[in-house]
Structure 1
Amino acid sequence: MTITLRPGSTVMFTGDSITDGVRRESEDGLGFGYPSFVVDHWGRRHPDRPVTWLNTGNAGDGVRDLEARWRTDVLDARPDVVSVLVGVNDLGLQALNPGGHATPVEEFEAGYDRLLAPLAEAGTELILIEPFLLPVHGVVEERARRDGLEPRIRAVRGLSRRYGASLLAADGMFAELAAETAPEHWAADGVHPTSAGHAALAAAWLRLVA
């Protein structure tokens, strides 16, 4: 499904550190990751179609954290499109998020559902980005981590079907890219994208909109 961004639309990116992109240190508040890549490409492609872009990603967040700030950070802005990327912090990976705690899959899916329900009721267009891990040696190669991620990916896919959301299959995309070029090229620690990884995410995101 393709989402049409009409002049005057408001697009909200939200999620964890991958979306955050150190946004508080950027002049436009969009950070230095894939949201800023999206905006740059969109502006060149559609200079006659102004869109308001917002980013409320927050490093270290899982679904529970998003729920705690969902009203003020997302719903109150009344965006026309909301793009969500969350899930890796819900695995409780200490190497990547010290002090983090795993969210059981059932709680992850139920919490994510509660995030989406009011947006769907309001007619907001949704883009759900799968959480992903790349097989970088010594960081995310353990099978247990893949076993924890895959049911959460299935949950995101199921929610995308339930709400008629556009799905960005990021885990599969990065698996294909890593088969051709070393995974470190896309995410040095297996989770946080490099500039090339953010560019790949942005390109995939832009294929979902018109």
Structure 2
Amino acid sequence: MTITLRPGTTVMFTGDSITDSRRLESEDGLGFGYPLRVAGEWAFRHPDRPVTWLNTGIGGHKVRDLEARWQPDVLDARPDVVSILVGVNDMGWHTLSQDGYVIPTEDFAAGYDRLLAPLAEAGTELILIEPFLLPITATVEAGDAHIDAEVRKEWRADLDPKIQAVRDLARKYGALLLPADDMFAELSAQTGPEYWSADGVHPTPAGHAALAAAWLRLVE
């Protein structure tokens, strides 16, 4: 199953920092990551089918943050296609920060569902990108915290059921699913995970290219 992007289609990318990719610093507002790569490659392949591309990703955002801004940032724009990547900030990542944020999978799924319901009711096409965590072994400094392989094991245990929740929601709403976690696991087995993400979360340029290529396989 694919989504057909007809001339004049409006596509919105939204989510956290992976989608944001410093969009406010970019001339076209798409940032410097996979949304820009998708838009550029589509324009190259299909000059006869112009598409309007929007990006409302914000670094650090969780499902609850998307909910708080969903109406003005997403629904009011009335996009034809919405692509969502959120969830990595809803895992144990933020238990290392001062807010100690933890959200049970059931609450994560319920919040995500509330994002999708009005879009589905409006007939918006949906693309859900799995949150992902690459199995890098290097220790990364995050403020006063030291993120090592043991910490990532805890994160993985927390993230896996949330990935499954995204898959379940894709089935519920007939959305296209981009299995990014599986994709990066396969790629990492070939080259090593650091090639795709230095910290296991934020993609390298190659990682963004992989996301863009996978995204483009979902549309025609």
Give the TM-score range, shorter chain. over 0.9
User: What secondary structure is seen at the aligned counterpart in 2 of 1:200?
Assistant: helix
Identity across aligned pairs (percent)?
72
The answer to whether the 8 Å contact 2:60/2:89 transfers is yes
Q: Match for 1:111: what amino acid?
A: G
Task: Provide the rounded CA distance (Å) in 1 between the counterparts of 2:130 and 2:160.
Answer: 10
Q: Match for 2:106: what amino acid?
A: E
Q: Which consecutive residues of structure 2, in runs of 5 or more, have no partner in the other structure?
A: 140-146
Partner of 1:122: 122
Greater Rg by CA = 2
Task: Provide the rounded CA distance (Å) in 2 between the counterparts of 1:147 and 1:96.
Answer: 16
CA separation of 1:68 and 1:200: change in aligned 2, threshold 3 A? same
Count of residues in correspondence between the two structures: 210
User: What secondary structure is seen at the aligned counterpart in 1 of 2:11?
Assistant: strand
Q: Which consecutive residues of structure 1, in runs of 5 or more, have no partner in the other structure?
A: none
The answer to whether the 8 Å contact 2:92/2:155 transfers is no
Partner of 1:197: 207
- TM-score by length of structure 1 reads 0.97
CA separation of 1:2 and 1:16: change in aligned 2, threshold 3 A? same
The answer to whether the 8 Å contact 1:93/1:100 transfers is no
Q: Within 5 Å, which residues of 2 pair with 1:60-209? A: 60-94=60-94, 99=99, 101-137=101-137, 138=139, 139=147, 141-142=149-150, 143-209=153-219
CA positional deviation for 1:100: 6.0
Task: Provide the rounded CA distance (Å) in 2 between the counterparts of 1:32 and 1:100.
Answer: 30
Kindly provide the CA deviation profile for residues 97-130 of structure 1, in whole angstroms up to 9, marking residues without a partner as x: 7646122111100000000000000000000000
User: What secondary structure is seen at the aligned counterpart in 1 of 2:28?
Assistant: coil
CA separation of 1:77 and 1:197: change in aligned 2, threshold 3 A? same
CA separation of 1:95 and 1:209: change in aligned 2, threshold 3 A? same
State the Cα RMSD in Å. 1.4
Q: Match for 2:86: what amino acid?
A: V
Task: Provide the rounded CA distance (Å) in 2 between the counterparts of 1:7 and 1:97.
Answer: 45
The answer to whether the 8 Å contact 1:89/1:97 transfers is no
